[in-house]
Amino acid sequence: MHLSASASGRLTRNNRIKASPSDLLFNSVNVLLTMLVTVVMVYPLYFILIASFSDPYKVYNGTVTWLPQGFTLEAYVNILRYDIIWTGYRNTIFYTIFGTFYNLALTIPAAFVLSRKQLPLRTPISWFFFITMYFGGGLIPTYMLYDQLGLLNSPLAMVLGAGVSCYNLIVSRQYFSSSIPDELQDAARIDGASDILFFFRIALPLAAPIIAVMGLYYSVGHWNSYFSALIYLTNIHLFPLQLVLRNILILNQNALASMSYNDDMELMASAARQAYMANSMKYALILVASAPLLCLYPFIQKYFVKGVMIGSVKG
């Protein structure tokens, strides 16, 4: 016997489990808390965006809350008039691409090897990496090492160095252990595949999610790095974007401090204007530095979520 579409719909609605008052209360509170957390996390980013396009006076006085006030591009114009910014972008892109490739070339093979149970001395080798999570050589010995290797004031100082993050190595090793079993490698070995061939032809293509995750982690680290440049670089033409933007902001603040001791009213007004503009430039600088990674993330989000979650649930 066949039921009509309307009768089937009535049966479906009648057979639904009716939520209890406690379930409704829980769902309502859950939704409200989720919305509150979302607002708390999203609003600072939204405020940075509208503040960068608002009039500096109104941003400084705190009248900008939900919508831009006195729309202007002056903050971006003041930032982009520095030619060194484009040099900083070029340097940061170079450091990020080659630094990330260097990190992945060390992390992914090491994680795969450490995930194989048949590896001799697997535990001591693992502890050789893990001990770096708790002990480090320190800044001065590291600086002396860079000096002896001739890496000071060189682009290689921003690419080489800490090639492997132990945390990323652990996550990658867990991925290989849970997603690429030893039985798969045994089957490949029976077919005549060597360990190196198995890694490049089978394991590496299956590791696309974790490679995307590790690539994002490492690239964000290289993109936001400025302390290493502050320590190891003195040539302004080698500065990454973050250090260039930091110097621009400090330059504006120092100019304001030098004019604050002048009795000339015009210079004082110019100093006040520069103070307001420096405040707006901070928000514009954040967007200039963050925009490329914000544009990149949606393209790798699928792999990012998959790579983070794989291996987190055990059956």
Q: Give the tens place of pLDDT for each residue, 67-117.
A: 888 888 888 887 777 778 888 888 998 999 999 999 999 999 999 888 888
Statement: residue 259 has pLDDT above 90: no
Q: In this structure, is residue 197 part of a structural domain?
A: yes
The DSSP output letter for 63 is: -
Tell me the whole-structure pTM to 2 decimals. 0.75
Domains in the chain: how many in total?
2
92 and 43 in a common domain = no
If asked whether residues 266 and 159 sit together in one domain, one would say yes
Kindly report, residue by residue over 200-216, the tens digit of the pLDDT: 888 888 888 888 888 88
- 110 with 55, same domain: the answer is no
Written as six digits, the tokens of 296 are 């990149």
Mean pLDDT computed over every residue of the chain: 79
**Conformation bin of residue 262: beta by default, left when phi > 0, alpha when psi is -120 to 50:** beta
Same domain, 297 and 224: yes
Closest C-alpha to 108, from 198, 195, 214: 214
Asked whether residue 214 falls in the same domain as residue 67, the answer is no
Higher local confidence (pLDDT), 310 or 47: 47
Neighbours of 201 (CB within 10 A): 12
Domain extent for 302: 77-309
Is there a domain that residue 6 lies in?
A: no
Question: Would you say residue 15 lies in a domain?
Answer: no
210 close to 110: Cβ distance less than 8 angstroms: no
Do 70 and 83 lie in a common domain? no
Residue 16 placed within a domain: no
Question: What pLDDT shows up at residue 236?
Answer: 87
Whether residue 53 is found in the same domain as residue 66? yes
Residues 108, 180 contacting (CB under 8 angstroms): no
Same domain, 274 and 246: yes
What are the backbone angles phi and psi of residue 197, rounded to the nearest 5°? -65, -40
